[in-house]
Amino acid sequence: MKFEWLAACAALALVGASAAQAAPKAVAKDAKVWAAAEAARPEQLKLLEQVVNIDSGTGDVDGGRKVAGILAARLKALGFSVESMKAEAEGLPENTVATLKGAGKGRILLIGHIDTVFGPGTAARRPFRMDAEKAYGPGVSDEKGGVVEGIYAMQILHDLGFKDFKQIVFLIETSEERGSPGTQKLIGKLVADADVELNLEPGDLPDKLTVWRKGAAAVHIEVKGRAAHAGIAPGEGRNAATELIHQIAANDGFPKTGDGITMNLTVLQAGTRDNIIPEDAQATYSVRIREKADLAKVMAVVEKNAQTTAVPDTKVRVWRQNPFFPPLPTNPGTEALADRAQAIYAGIGKTISRGGNGGASESALAYEGGIPALDGLGPAAGGFHADTEYLLLSSVTPRLYLLTKLVQELGHAPPPRLK
């Protein structure tokens, strides 16, 4: 099957991203906020250590409640009214919604997640530690580092008596690593009552803001064949595994890496016993897209391929996850927020660039809901979803400064909603 239309999508995505990178005028350094951010550092890292050393893999209800309890108490002490909201799916700890009212204009929604991809016992095996450059530990950057940064930005604003905003809502959610099944409706509700979303996912290296994110969908190919004795009557069988291999080969032209659409085989199952021709076989792909419309194009190719089988009398069924996780496409609202962030960072003599990645986040839901969203505001980091996960200590204070100043600016002069 021809894949030329893919090159066109990738080229399009690149054009949008490169256009927005003229360096905006620096915002003068706010010495008070900088001093407060520096002073907060030891406490900030101590709180980070405390929550990293508590396992809270998605679905770990006890661990999630413990971490949320610690953070909620901090926000309560800063004058936030804190609600614990039942998750929208089974087996998940509650989401925390903390609200602070002000006397100004902007309605700011901060979103962070405290669930990690790591199982029970990981923190004991691999507790929080630091060396001269980095901090390590399960979820240290994805995303406990960002959530703790959010807490300290609220601390600094509190200590400065800052009230020039209409409301700040801080959502701490518990199922992001599985596509936020426990939080999607709640996010929709909070977005409807906000002007802008700031997301505390980690910043990509070397020191980047996230201004686009791919959407994600699981695409499944199922083959039905006919079972038979692999020794006595193999010819009577219709090998579903062989047909699946044929389908996988037919769909192998999709890119597996890069900024455009990617399609990666992630799960493969076939056969039950070594003496039976397999009747059933399934494959699952993680498809990542830059624009919502890309998914239909991918599905059209996979569905077309499914009509041609190599093994006679086999049936191929193709279906996808519904709903899928939408992308945060390159868009002017996010670019304008990134301009503000760059200007603030330039004020402390630092450069922050912008980019995107294939990981999904709630910012896409904020964009879908009609507000500009800026992502990747947590500390700069790497090694996500692996034992090597870390955050860069050199980014901790500058990022705290950036987030605090952004909240001040957006409280005073919020951007227009997108819809």
Pairing outcome for strands 167-173 and 107-113: parallel
Specify the DSSP element, H or E, that contains 337.
Answer: helix 332-347
CB of 360 to Zn ion, least distance (A): 9
Nearer to Zn ion, 58 or 334 (CB): 58
Q: Which long-range contacts (CB under 8 A, 24 or more apart) does 175-178 make?
A: 175/58, 175/59, 175/87, 175/89, 175/92, 175/113, 175/115, 176/58, 176/113, 176/115, 176/143, 176/361, 176/362, 177/57, 177/58, 177/113, 177/115, 177/116, 177/117, 178/58, 178/115
CB of 74 to Zn ion, least distance (A): 20
CB of 211 to Zn ion, least distance (A): 16
Distance CA 375, CA 378 (A): 8
Which is the catalytic residue, given 49, 60, 115, 291?
Answer: 115
Q: Cβ contacts of residue 410 below 8 Å, gap of 6+?
A: 106, 108, 165, 195, 196, 198, 340
3-state secondary structure of 320: strand
Which is the catalytic residue, given 49, 149, 173, 176?
Answer: 176
Q: Which stretch binds Zn ion (CB under 5 A): 47-55, 123-131, 138-146, 282-290?
A: 138-146
CA angle at 339 for the pair 336 and 343, rounded to the nearest 5° = 145
CA angle at 84 for the pair 80 and 88, rounded to the nearest 5° = 135
Q: Which stretch binds Zn ion (CB under 5 A): 143-151, 154-162, 261-269, 286-294?
A: 143-151
- Catalytic, 176? Answer yes
CB of 389 to Zn ion, least distance (A): 11
Nearer to Zn ion, 174 or 404 (CB): 174
Q: Which stretch binds Zn ion (CB under 5 A): 56-64, 141-149, 156-164, 272-280?
A: 141-149
- Catalytic, 38? Answer no
Per the structure block, which two tokens stand in for 204? 């990509």
368 binds Zn ion (CB under 5 A): no
CB of 109 to Zn ion, least distance (A): 17
Q: Which stretch binds Zn ion (CB under 5 A): 88-96, 101-109, 142-150, 262-270?
A: 142-150
362 binds Zn ion (CB under 5 A): no
142 binds Zn ion (CB under 5 A): yes
Spatial CA neighbour of 142 closest among 218, 185, 69, 201: 201
| Half-sphere CA count of 419, side-chain side, radius 13 A | 5
Among 49, 115, 143, 291, the residue binding Zn ion under the rule CB under 5 A is 143
CB of 142 to Zn ion, least distance (A): 4
Site string for Zn ion, 9-48 (x = CB under 5 A): ----------------------------------------
243 binds Zn ion (CB under 5 A): no
Binding site for Zn ion (CB under 5 A): 142-143
Instruction: Tell me which residues are annotated as active site.
Output: 115, 176
